[in-house]
Amino acid sequence: MVEIPKDFIQKEENLIIKGNVAAAYAAKSARVQVISAYPITPQTTVVEKLSEFVDNGEMPGTQYIKVESEHSVLASIIGASKAGTRTFTATSGQGLFYMHEMVHWAAGARLPIVMAIASRGPAPPWNIWADFTDVLSQRDTGWLSAFCSSHQEIYDEILMSYKVCEDHEILLPKFVAYGGFILSHTSKPIIVEDQDKVDNFLPPLPDEDGWPHIWMDPKRPMMFGNLIMPSGFYQEFRLKIHDAHIRAKEKIIKAAQEFKQVFGRDYGNGLIQEYKMDDAEVGMIIYGDLALQMEDAVDYVREEGYKVGMVKLRHFRPFPTEDIIRVAKMIKLLGVVDRATAFGSQTGGPVSCEVKAALHETKNTAKILPIINGLGGREVTLEQQKNQLRKLVKFNETGEVPKDTIHGTLWDCLLEVK
């Protein structure tokens, strides 16, 4: 359950703001030096708030480029990051797809860019509502990716992301995704932290020499990104990106620990966050805003006498394979809820596929029930989530796969076609 921190009303800087505005405040707290953005629903209020900050002189020295397309957003951010500055941008759905070429480029150049994603469903038909297919479809680009389930988590995760991405042993870009409208456009109380505290938590802004591996400096003329023959180090560069992802797991864990020490808010081990899993017989792996409501569903179904639990997946890349294996060994049956699609894959859901792959060679592990719901922002009610848990309980008790699965996956609450 999300709770309003006890000291909330006592502090002046505490605000009741939209999720998008929380993302803008995080960029401000991180003292980003270059912002580039193009408006897209439901990300727009991020760029509006940042404009306000810059225009009012609240972000001194920050350059804000208002470009003509998302492709140029990321191209300009890449240029700015290469030259050794801390950068930020935000987008959604179609905007992210239009950036896709540059998404690969940013990771290949090992640039610690942080991008907020107010996730929305891909068209056609046009859809602007919560659906994580946008960020999950960037799976193999080399970006780290995190999901947020509350307004406060958007602010907090952006700060933690800069810490991990700018670590000289990582140097990778990162998506910080949250459900369009559900978090982007609703308002909740959040704590915007004291600037000194944030400054101490984050690494210092890049010095004059910029990043250790890439720079644009007339005093040190160097060429970056030129053609490399198949016999050259291309394959080795790719391995290094994978290595950095694996290494990022411990960095994410460390960042979450430090974050808890400094700011007092707990995000599990950073990669996943367990809820009432200790004595659970069945559990649910879930991510994004739906995880928040699922905590309530777990509480209600527990009141009915069933030992259910929940694992909030905080990171998709790097994938917390070890944590998933550990959790799956504790339990008999795991539901995996996707608010996204991976057509033609084993389960149809990107995260449930990933979970199944992680458990492939594990003995005595939980059975998996893939669930897909809430696509294109369709409402997922508390009652629906309670029923999902009850179905898990019944499946576990009877050993019978729920009758309403399609190709092995529970496509929950489909409309009836007449």
The contact set with other proteins (CB under 8 A) reads 33-34, 36, 60-63, 65-69, 71-73, 75-85, 101-102, 105, 205, 208, 215-218, 220-229, 232-233
* Nearest to other proteins of 105, 147 (CB atom): 105
* Nearest to other proteins of 212, 225 (CB atom): 225
* Nearest to other proteins of 72, 384 (CB atom): 72
Smallest gap from Cβ 69 to other proteins, in A, equals: 6
* Nearest to other proteins of 36, 150 (CB atom): 36
Smallest gap from Cβ 19 to other proteins, in A, equals: 26
Backbone dihedral region of 61: left (phi > 0), alpha (psi from -120 to 50 degrees) or beta? left
**C-alpha pair distances (Å), 345 with each of 124, 285, 341, 394, 408:** 20, 18, 9, 26, 11
* Nearest to other proteins of 36, 409 (CB atom): 36
* Nearest to other proteins of 69, 187 (CB atom): 69
State the first-to-last Cα distance of the chain, in angstroms, to the nearest integer.
39
Smallest gap from Cβ 240 to other proteins, in A, equals: 15
347 phi and psi angles, rounded to 5 deg: -110, -15
Q: Which two tokens stand for residue 346?
A: 């084993």
Smallest gap from Cβ 22 to other proteins, in A, equals: 24
Smallest gap from Cβ 223 to other proteins, in A, equals: 4
Smallest gap from Cβ 238 to other proteins, in A, equals: 14
Residue pointed to by tokens 């951010």: 77
CB burial of residue 100 (10 Å; 0-12, 13-18, 19+) = middle
Taking the C-alpha atoms of residue 311 and residue 324, their distance in angstroms, rounded to an integer, is 9
* Cβ–Cβ < 8 Å for 120, 76: no
* Nearest to other proteins of 210, 402 (CB atom): 210
Residue pointed to by tokens 């397309």: 69
**C-alpha pair distances (Å), 294 with each of 278, 284, 298, 349:** 17, 9, 6, 18
Q: Which two tokens stand for residue 328?
A: 């799956």
85: nearest Cα among 211, 177, 191, 200:
211
Smallest gap from Cβ 49 to other proteins, in A, equals: 19
